[in-house]
Amino acid sequence: MKNKKVLEEMTPYKPGKQMEEVKKEYGLSRIVKLASNENPYGHSEQIDTYMSQAGIGYHFYPDGYTSELRSAVAAKLNVSETKLLFGSGTDEIIQIIGRAFLYPGANTVMATPTFPQYKHSARIEGAEVREVPLMNGKHDLDGMLDAVDESTNIVWLCSPNNPTGCVIPKDDFYTFMDACPSDVLVVLDEAYYEYVSSDVHPHVLEHLDNYDNLIVLRTFSKAYGLAGLRVGYGIASESLINRLDVVRGPFNTSSLAQKAAAAAINDDQFVNHSIERNKVVKQSFEQFLDSIGWHYFTSHTNFLLISTPISGDRVFQYLLEKGFIVRAGEAIGAPNSIRVTIGKEKDMEELKEILHQMHLKLEKEQSL
Ligand SMILES: Cc1ncc(COP(=O)(O)O)c(C=O)c1O
């Protein structure tokens, strides 16, 4: 068959292990999943109440314009409804952007390691991928600008960056935007936006009108706890949104997901509680890591990228057998490390104990 040649060199996305699979494989009764940066506190209770009353009418196609959710997001962010594009997770918005802007002969610039879907989608479109290594966990914005040339169509910025959790400082972001050619689309992926404290944040939406070549991505999958329903969105100028909207499938977010996200966005209490708990539990986990001397990047998210004294794969396996699913660094372009989602306090206490035992074992082995 005559499929795109590049597909033969690529592999499908390999998701983290599923909980039931791990339970069965290792004969465990309980699993703690800390692999995909989901919200361990669940989601707004208002969603359950709302869903039981809503009478969604699943036999109809969903609202292709996402009207109710659109109004709710526009009001919350104080942006015009015409500046929003909704997708089945930010993942789909990334695909839409790739389809609209990339083709053979064009190139796209991104950090490495960063969120892998930027590269995945660019390769499928046949574009050249230019990866600029992070510097101490942060985007090398000067290096990324150097990589831009007349064939560059998109620059991807991930802030906070997955997997390091580091943010792009606001002054650096605006310096970058002012230096970047205005015909290059800049995608600022803020999937972890809600976790970032206000003082370090660039508050881009207030300046969106100054940059026609900028799109900001946000999601309901992280702080809002709706990863399973798949809703993400982009915010950009109306003309850019209109161009991307041509590529979007007509009914790309389900009725259920639209209703749930519209209910979730106004439950500040739930989101604030999650952010507050995350902060406290993360701090305590960081203190523990300091005590055993394992390095981690300063993270403005609900996860930490931790350097491990042995391969990340080995630490991953050790933890897996004890019922904790984390992400091995090797799988996400950060060897000798693990990425751990900050879970609930009790689970993190248990994880500390397991890591402490592992640390003692490694120290003993080294001294022999
Ligand atoms: C930086 C970043 N962008 C986008 C996504 C995709 O999120 P969604 O669930 O909205 O597709 C993730 C998920 O892990 C992420 O970490």
- The tens digit of pLDDT for each residue in 128-164 reads 999 999 999 999 999 999 999 999 999 999 999 999 9
Ligand 1 pocket, mutate which of 36, 115, 167, 303 (most atoms under 8 A from CB): 115
> Is 54 a residue whose pLDDT tops 70?
no
**Considering the chain, what is the average pLDDT of its residues?**
95
Q: Tell me: pLDDT of 368 over 90.
A: no
Q: Which atom of ligand 1 is nearest to the CA of 36?
A: 14
Rounded to whole angstroms, the Cα distance separating 77 from 132 reads 32
Task: Report CA(158)–ligand 1 centroid distance (Å).
Answer: 10
Q: Calculate the alpha carbon distances from 260 to 67, 83, 163, 329 in Å.
A: 13, 21, 28, 33
- Structural domain spans, the chain: 5-42+268-363, 60-264
- Across residues 25-45, what is the average pLDDT? 94
Pairing of strands 324-325, 32-33: parallel
Structure confidence at residue 116 as a pLDDT band (50, 70, 90): very high
How many residues are there in the chain?
368
* Ligand 1: centre distance to CA 162 (Å): 9
What is the pLDDT averaged over residues 220-231?
A: 98
In percent, the amount of the chain with pLDDT more than 70 equals 99
Q: Which of 219, 229, 301, 303 to mutate to test the pocket of ligand 1 (most atoms within 8 A of CB)?
A: 219
Question: Tens digit of pLDDT for each residue in 159-203?
Answer: 999 999 999 999 999 999 999 999 999 999 999 999 998 788 888
Instruction: Yes or no: say if 340 and 306 are a contact pair by the CB < 8 Å rule.
Output: yes
Q: Which has more confidence, 49 or 86?
A: 86
- The reply to whether CATH 3.90.1150.10 applies to domain 5-42+268-363 is yes
Q: Using a 6 Å CB cutoff, which residues line ligand 1? A: 37, 89-91, 115, 158, 162, 189, 191, 219, 221, 227, 232
Q: Phi and psi dihedrals of 66, rounded to 5? A: 55, 45
| Domain over 60-264 is classified CATH 3.40.640.10 | yes
What is the layout of strands, in order, in the sheet containing 107-112? 84-87, 232-235, 214-219, 185-189, 152-158, 107-112, 128-133
pLDDT tens-place string over residues 306-358 = 999 999 999 999 999 999 999 999 999 999 999 999 999 999 999 999 999 99
Check pLDDT > 90 for residue 19: no
Here the tokens at position 88 are: 């089945």
Residue 233: pLDDT over 90? yes
Inform me whether the pLDDT recorded for 58 exceeds 90: no
Q: How far is residue 217's CA from residue 91's CA, in Å, rounded to a whole number?
A: 10
Using the mean position of ligand 1's atoms as its centre, give its distance from the Cα of residue 38 in Å.
10
Q: Distance from the CA of 195 to the center of ligand 1, in angstroms?
A: 14
Residue nearest to atom 2 of ligand 1 (CA): 191
